[in-house]
Structure 1
Amino acid sequence: MVIQAQPDISELAGLIDNIAQNDGDYDTPIPALKFRRCSSTTDPMPCIYGLGLVLIVQGGKRVTLGDDVFDYGAGQSLIATVDLPVVSYVTRASSAEPFLGMWLELDARVIAQLAAEMEFAMPLQASTTRAMSVETLDEGLKDALTRLVRLLAEPPLIPLLAPLIQQEIVVRLLSGGHGPCLRRLVAVGSPSQQIAKVITWLKQNYTENVPMDDLAAKAHMSPSTFRQHFRAVVGMSPLQYLKNHRLQDARQLMLNENLDAGSAAVRVGYESASQFSREYSRLFGEPPNRDIRRMRESTWARDGHRY
């Protein structure tokens, strides 16, 4: 068995450390690229991971998706291919060696275009797997990501070079360990692509009460086959996914727009305030008002939909 060597990510860690000098999240002049620094471990936080690449350059993290647990650390990357409700938290961090991570949003259209132009040694098996994977960083991908971060020091060149490096990163992801996960996202007619289309529709229409049979029809599947494939991709049932998405958005509405719990419940499609409060407490561990008070005092109060 060939053991993959761990790439040297010290330069990348130094570049991010120079930018993210205090705890928090950092946007960059490259819109798809963000950084995070955290000097201590964090409590488990329900959030939504969208289509993108997470790379840890220092420290460690745990992400749970349904019954699956993903533990990863420095030099490892995680890919999510659809919007996934997860529980995420930093497991290794200190003031001396803070957690440092980067997030790169990916474009499904770019992935589809490049995948169509590439030749792959192994054909893609017609199966459905989790829309999330963890891999050790390889040398080529590390080099491309480092060049993208270095580019932040040359603002005039960003509009010209950043899109080219981002395309290179997608090519390297498609040809590496994350490749099968990404290819299933864009494989025309595959179960994973059909589920991804339904998830995109749910994301835009999550306040509606849609029968599960109608969602199955959108995926061109029988109800039982749809539920089976949906759980295989997302790690939970369609109903659990819809409920989770509503509660996540309600939390953000209360945080960002100062809505009370009742108003937020109505906005996201709940008809019963008491049901909303019960389900909110089950997901976030506290009733809405108490949770929002705690969140406003937290460093990560507005981080409900970030990595």
Structure 2
Amino acid sequence: MKKEVQNDIVIMQQQKELAQLIEAFTGEDGMHPTAIPALRLLRASQKSQPIYSVHTPVLCIVAQGRKLVVLAQESYYYDPSQYLVISVDLPISGQVLEASPQCPHLCMLLDFHPDQIFDILKEADPSWRKKGDSKRGLFVSNSNASLLDAALRLLRLLDTPSDIPILAPLIIREILYRILQGEQGDTVKQIAIVSSHVYYIAEVIRLIKQDFAKPLEIDKLALSVNMGISSLYQHFKTVTAMSPLQFQKQLRLHEARRLLLTGVADAANAGFQVGYESPSQFSREYARMFGLPPISDMKRLRDLG
């Protein structure tokens, strides 16, 4: 019991220093790139509305505050005692639930690529070629002192930029190794194992993203990864929490909203640009996802901004 208490104290101290470092390297609200290309820092001094995006593989460690991520109909809550990993490209919404000017939400995000996982597995795991069952491409797991220690050392490098080219890749490799050694490490391993179901689903996701405005041809997608159609549906839903068609629909609506927000297209044209032939269908599905039809949603966002 004494050892567990000591470990908890160490983790609390690490979380406190992590928050101090993120605060020091941000200073104001927003997403901040850093001198380490894969590392971004987020600061928010108030709760947020859901922010929609298509996330590539990333590790998110909250140092202060609490956040909600929604994938399809599933909700994932995490705070400083946990970290979140997205292992394949997924359309999600993220929302800051706890934040204030006195105690802002502080988070670090570390992007990674399956090739990095592959390189670690080749050296660290003799059974790395073993294919496991398909699992959700997003999970929340409990933080530990080893992971937080590596995260702190990565952040401290921002104070010594000359060390970044040599030391940052080594520390990032250690952070990914710690995730692989964690309770849900097998989930991340699968994205690097060629011929695993998750590896194939990641390829199908890439193909859908590449041509999301075109009609979905599920038979061609299945053929491209040498899977049967029913098997593709089953594993795709396991990994992404949705069917290929639902996934494509979310990509289309995310992009339509981006076009509207940036002023590249108006409501009449945004739907056509992302593949909708019927303006009324586009408006209905947009409202179902974002809560309001396109024009009303844009007005709401402008009022909030």
Q: Which residue of 2 aligns with 1:98?
A: 104
Give the structure with the larger helix fraction: 2
Task: Name the structure 2 match of 1:35.
Answer: 41
Deviates more, 1:52-61 or 1:260-269: 260-269
CA positional deviation for 1:124 = 5.2
Which residue of structure 2 lines up, in the alignment, with residue 149 of structure 1?
155
CA 1:217–1:298 in 2, change beyond 3 Å: closer, same or farther?
farther
Residue matched to 1:304: none
Range that drifts further, 205-214 or 194-203: 205-214
* Structure 1 residue 206: Cα displacement: 1.1
Residue in structure 2 matched with residue 54 of structure 1 by the alignment: 60
Which residue of structure 2 lines up, in the alignment, with residue 302 of structure 1?
none
Once the two structures are overlaid, the 10-residue window that deviates more, 209-218 or 233-242, is 209-218
Counterparts in 2 of 1:160 and 1:221: CA distance versus 1, 3 Å: same
Q: Does structure 2 retain, via aligned residues, the 8 Å contact 1:124–1:180?
A: no
Matched, 1:287 2:286: no
Identity of paired residues, percent? 38
Aligned equivalent of 2:189, options 156, 166, 183: 183
Q: How high is the TM-score relative to the length of structure 1?
A: 0.90
1:120–1:175: 8 Å Cα contact kept in structure 2? no
The structure-2 alpha-carbon separation of the partners of 1:122 and 1:209, relative to structure 1 and needing over 3 Å to count, comes to closer
Query: Are the equivalent residues in 1 in contact too, given 2:122–2:128 (CA < 8 A)?
Result: no
1:261 corresponds to 2:230: no
How far apart, CA to CA, are the structure 2 residues paired with 1:13 and 1:184? 32
Alpha-carbon distance in 1 for matches of 2:233, 2:266: 34
Post-superposition offset of 1:263: 2.5
Partner-residue secondary structure (3-state), 1:221:
coil
- Cα deviation, 1:102-140, whole Å, max 9, x if unaligned, reads 111012211112112222689856311101111122212
Structure 2: stretches of 5+ with no match in the other structure: none
CA distance in 2, matches of 1:50, 1:295: 25
Is this contact kept in 2: 1:46–1:283, CA < 8 A? no
Task: Render the CA deviation track for 1:53-105: whole Å, top value 9, x for unaligned.
Answer: 01110011112223332111113110001111223211222222111111110
2:86 paired residue number: 80
User: Any idea what the Cα deviations from partners look like across 1:208-239, whole Å, max 9, x if unmatched?
Assistant: 21222222222322211111111110001111
- Alignment match, 2:201: 195
The answer on whether the counterparts of 1:141 and 1:169 sit within 8 Å (CA) in structure 2 is yes
Residue 234 of structure 1: aligned partner: 240
* Distance (whole Å) between structure 1 residues aligned to residue 121 and residue 86 of structure 2: 17
2:217 aligns to what? Answer: 211
1: CA distance, partners of 2:130 / 2:304: 44
* Matched residue SS, 1:215: helix
Partner SS for 1:31: coil
Say if 2:180 is the partner of 1:174. yes
Distance 1:166 1:257, change over 3 A: farther
- CA contact under 8 A between 2:121 and 2:128: conserved in structure 1? no
- 2:125 is matched with which residue? 119
Give the structure, 1 or 2, with the largest relative contact order (CA under 8 Å, sep 6 or more). Answer: 1
TM-score, normalised via structure 2 length? 0.90
Distance verdict in 2 for CA 1:298–1:51, change over 3 Å:
farther
Task: Tell me, yes or no, if structure 1 residue 108 matches structure 2 residue 114.
Answer: yes
Query: Offset at 1:298?
Result: 4.2
Mapped partners of 1:63, 1:14: distance in 2: 24
